[in-house]
Structure 1
Amino acid sequence: MENIVTLLGLFVLVVILVLYHASSAFHYYSRISFFYFTILLHGMEVCVTMIPSWLQGKGADYVFNSFYYWCKWTGVNTTVYGTKFTQIEGPAVVICNHQSSLDILSMASIWPKNCVVMMKKILVYIPFFNLGSYFSNSIFIDRYNREKAMASVDYCATELQRRNLKLWIFPEGTRNRDGGFIPFKKGAFNIAVRAQVPIIPVVFSDYRPFYSFVKKYFRNDGEVVIRALEPISTEGLTLDDVPALADKCRDVMFEAYKNVTSEALERVAARRGETKKSN
């Protein structure tokens, strides 16, 4: 009986290995499942290790700094430019393009000091992630309730100034899997203007050369180029200026996005030993 169980186990293992290397979809689901499992394990860890940082009011610094090393197995390399802009003293609103859950890995490569995250309220129900987020001083908003969302704007503006924090927000409001940017929502800009703090744009290159939720592939030779742009002042602006401010930020970020994506394509091609850019 033991021999049968052993043989069956070996057979299953061989089938898994064959599928992993032969099926792009199976390879994708295996790797993305392990990525989420990594997030879960890391969430369990920071529920304990994050407490000292939480007591000191340091935001999510430890969470992202440690998560960078948890994800080494993915094979994704990151190249970062403009770190000096994210490390400026004083409160600020950091805005970034949003592509997938892999953004967490990219964020870990350029995480600003004393920074917290704004998240959708529904994420508060994810076990361990919610407690880790609480210890990271994350701010949860109900974007489907306008009254509560507007109250969150005032709360965030006050907290940024009072606690000398930076706030990381994805102004697109949802994941954009098709490349480029979708129109920015106004929340991040309302907060920055209310608090009269600078906006720091951060741009991640397109992930599609190595990852696609739609086409179901997640290769282990990913290259992400990240660039933080020069802070954009909100001094003297009012809420009436928010639409123009949002458009200005989106324009400069999209231009940078094209440049970093071009560099990322070249890095992926070089890593694969190719002579031309790949899509």
Structure 2
Amino acid sequence: MADFWTILLFVLAVFLVFYNFSTKFHYYVRISFFYITILLHGMEVCVTMIPSWLGSKGADYVFHSFYYWSKWTGIHTTVYNYEITQVDGPAIVICNHQSSLDIVSMSSVWPKHCAVMMKRILAYVPFFNLGAYFSSTIFIDRFNRERAMASVDYCATEMKKRNLKLWVFPEGTRNRDGGFIPFKKGAFNIAVRAQLPIIPVVFSDYRSFYSKPGRYFKNDGEVVIRVLDPIPTEGLTLDDVNELSDKCRDLMLVAYREVTAEAWKRTAERRGEPVDGKKID
């Protein structure tokens, strides 16, 4: 028995040494625990969010509860114009997409009565799929144009019928290199088809505290989030989608640079470091 405790203490000591002095080991431990948190939270909401589902509130409970589940990450968020997301009525909410940590940012600014659009492959992830169903998630097939276009009409109809907002990442995939990659047109097609306003939401760059390629995940993250004024689509047709997409992207890029500058300044102040004016992509 004494040997067991000796070995256990030795393993714990080695773990603490690597956790505190190896950036990569620290990253793998924290990101693994983050995914475990998502899994456990997904199991929990499979039961606890049923009342929210019956009330047709979309994913409200999922993200409001995950805000508390993710407190251990040390990520601090500052939100500007939060009240815009809480207005009643359907709308398309678009946001830049950086990593799985977006879930933490989303939990701080989640719109009232909002659902998520996701890749269909995620519908086969255990527990996650059941929670997604109760969250009124809309799954689309990005690689099948015919099904994707049918999803556009389905989304437009369901949003109006159920009075839901829809959260979409128009980049279509995670962008870890700063700035925005070109927007896909799905969100804008839905907005125009349904004649619904678009609400842009911008997250600051995470790279001051998190990077998958760099293998670091620090526990003092600062994220600044800005909700932009709604962009109307009344009177627009599908011929206007390209111009509408470019307009939204340009507005969001300006805000992205501003909120990132503020977030990096907050991070430097939090660490007691000088603000050195790093270049923002």
TM-score by length of 2: 0.98
Q: Aligned to 2:116, what secondary structure does the other structure show? A: strand
Q: Give the deviation of 1:7 after TM superposition.
A: 1.0
1:52 corresponds in structure 2 to: 51
Q: Give the deviation of 1:277 after TM superposition.
A: 3.9
Runs of 4+ in 1 over 2 A off after TM superposition: none
Task: Return the alpha-carbon distance in structure 2 between the equivalents of residues 277 and 173 of structure 1.
Answer: 33
Q: Give the deviation of 1:262 after TM superposition.
A: 0.3
Q: Give the deviation of 1:275 after TM superposition.
A: 2.1
1:135 corresponds in structure 2 to: 134
The change in CA–CA distance for 1:51 and 1:170 in structure 2 (over 3 A counts) is: same
Task: Return the alpha-carbon distance in structure 2 between the equivalents of residues 194 and 223 of structure 1.
Answer: 37
Q: Aligned to 1:202, what secondary structure does the other structure show? A: strand
Unpaired segments ≥5 residues, structure 2: none
Unpaired segments ≥5 residues, structure 1: none
Q: Deviations over 1:83-114 (max 9, x none)?
A: 12212221100000000000000000000010
- Number of residue pairs the alignment of both structures matches: 278
2:84 corresponds in structure 1 to: 85
User: RMSD over aligned Cα, in angstroms?
Assistant: 0.8
Task: Return the alpha-carbon distance in structure 1 between the equivalents of residues 51 and 85 of structure 2.
Answer: 23
Structure 2 counterparts to residues 31-42 of structure 1, below 5 A: 31-42=30-41
1:274 corresponds in structure 2 to: 273
Q: Aligned to 2:224, what secondary structure does the other structure show? A: strand
Task: Return the alpha-carbon distance in structure 2 between the equivalents of residues 112 and 14 of structure 1.
Answer: 44
2:14 corresponds in structure 1 to: 15
1:67 pairs with 2:70 = no
Q: Aligned to 1:94, what secondary structure does the other structure show? A: strand
Task: Return the alpha-carbon distance in structure 1 between the equivalents of residues 88 and 276 of structure 2.
Answer: 39
TM-score by length of 1: 0.98
Do 1:265 and 1:277's aligned partners in 2 also have CA atoms closer than 8 Å?
no
Task: Return the alpha-carbon distance in structure 2 between the equivalents of residues 118 and 35 of structure 1.
Answer: 22
Structure 2 counterparts to residues 74-223 of structure 1, below 5 A: 74-223=73-222
Q: Aligned to 2:202, what secondary structure does the other structure show? A: strand
Q: Give the deviation of 1:274 after TM superposition.
A: 1.2
Q: Deviations over 1:164-204 (max 9, x none)?
A: 11000000000000000000000000000000000000000
